[in-house]
Amino acid sequence: MAHVRPKRGHFIVFETLDKHMVTPPASQRCVILMTFTTEKAKDNPEYRDAMRFLNDLDEEKVRKLHIDHLKRIEEIKDEGVSIVQSGQELHGKERFVADGLMTEGECQKLISLLEAGGLEGDGYRGDKSPLTHNEVFTGLSAERAQKRGGLEGDGYKGKTESGPNKISPHTNLEMFEGITVGRATQLVRSGKLPKDLVQLFLRKSEQARVLVENFFNLTRPLYFDFTHLVCRTAIEEDNEERRDLSHPVHADNCLIQPDGSCLRQFPAYIARDYSAVLYLNGNPDFMGGEFFFAHGNRTEQVTVPPRCGRMVGFNAGDYHGVRAVTKGRRCAIAMWYTMDPNTQELARLQAWKKMAPQNVVQGETLGSGEENEKFDYFEEAEERNVNKEGANFLTEKKDIGINIKIHVEANDLDSEHLQNNDISEKELEFVKETYNKNGVRDNGNRKNNKHGEL
């Protein structure tokens, strides 16, 4: 006689005529019992009725969402936004190009935000570049931002690297500058950036998210996975003979294989579902720099020339790249979205909490509308079975909790909170130990992001 020990999730299948029995359990045992037949006449009508009812509910929900999305798209169009290309025009199912999301004045303000608080290099490691020894990075940690402006090296571990140029991570013929939401927020707190510029950064990127969510008629909310305002500048002017790319062909959530397929697995950012890029300038500020969708063999499929207020939205698995910037400086906001609230951009949650414009409804800023209010470190510790005492401390210190989390990820949590008397040295070490040894999620460590800016 064969014995099968009960275990959660086990699915046991056998013929009805097979002899079987169940031994008395020592405690409560719960199962779902199903019987099947090959005779249609004996099919259980109650089950089929229940399935039809549930399917009808789902269809009604989708129908209402579709109507809501259409209404929201019309409202967006009334605000001056127009969809200029989509679908088959761009040779893909989930792609669109929209114009009118920003005015020239707003574009120039965001470029000035980068000029005031940006750093040369994208700042993912303390090396010259995570990709090649021929490139130089510079960067700035949040703690370092409290003291002064940019430093050479990325600032995560205080490393420095000298060099005449701060070269792009993708080509040694362009310089690269960038600023994240988290860095911009820290610079506002330290008085080095005006609050209204960062509010504009948050508001315009949020409008982009709303457009993506509604245009693609999604039945689940989108959350920000990462936001980066970036500029690329040609080192040699009028270099029209260039044959390299400003950003090689890639996908944002999978790794392209030699046969043209794409594997959605680590180290790709597999949580990303959709992407968008919102341009801040175009010709004549720079030459080249066109965004393009690509075939599986990495050849160009269709190109999109940048201009102020133009946005490209697409599925994160679509192949795309950027042509070489042969002259001038090209600036844009790159955004990646996820449907998983557990991987959303924590720095953005904190930024909205501190600086959300009063005319922006909280529900619209986060996608689902409740995550910021319900963000509780003790609940997170309950889910992940980590140090409860540490979680209690973070909940008690909730106003600085998200900042603490971000600093720990960057290994930079030290002087800022100690100087402000937010936490003691003993508490600081306790928080570090809680996060570094007990596995609270790090929101997708950004130090090794090679699949990023558009």
Q: Which of 144, 310, 330, 348 is catalytic?
A: 330
- Name the residue among 156, 285, 152, 159 with its Cα closest to residue 231: 285
- Name the residue among 58, 6, 54 with its Cα closest to residue 32: 6
* Residues in CB range of 151: below 8 A, 6 or more apart: 138, 139, 140, 144, 160
Using an 8 Å Cβ cutoff, are 320 and 248 in contact? Answer: no
Using an 8 Å Cβ cutoff, are 337 and 272 in contact? Answer: yes
Cα separation, 397 vs 384, whole angstroms = 20
Using an 8 Å Cβ cutoff, are 179 and 112 in contact? Answer: no
Omega cis (within 30) before 284: yes
Using an 8 Å Cβ cutoff, are 224 and 335 in contact? Answer: yes
Is the CA virtual torsion 172, 174, 175, 181 positive or negative?
Answer: negative
Cα separation, 243 vs 453, whole angstroms = 20
Q: How far is CA 113 from CA 237, 267, 409, in A?
A: 24, 31, 25
Instruction: Please give the biggest Cα pair distance in the chain.
Output: 83
> Helices 398-409 and 388-396: crossing angle, nearest 10°?
120
Strand pairing report for 82-86 and 325-338: unpaired
183 included as an active-site residue:
no
DSSP secondary structure string, 51-106? HHHHHHHHHHHHHHHHHHHHHHHHHHHHTT-EEEEEGGGGTSSSEEEEE-SS-HHH
- Name the residue among 270, 271, 291 with its Cα closest to residue 279: 291
Active site residues: 330
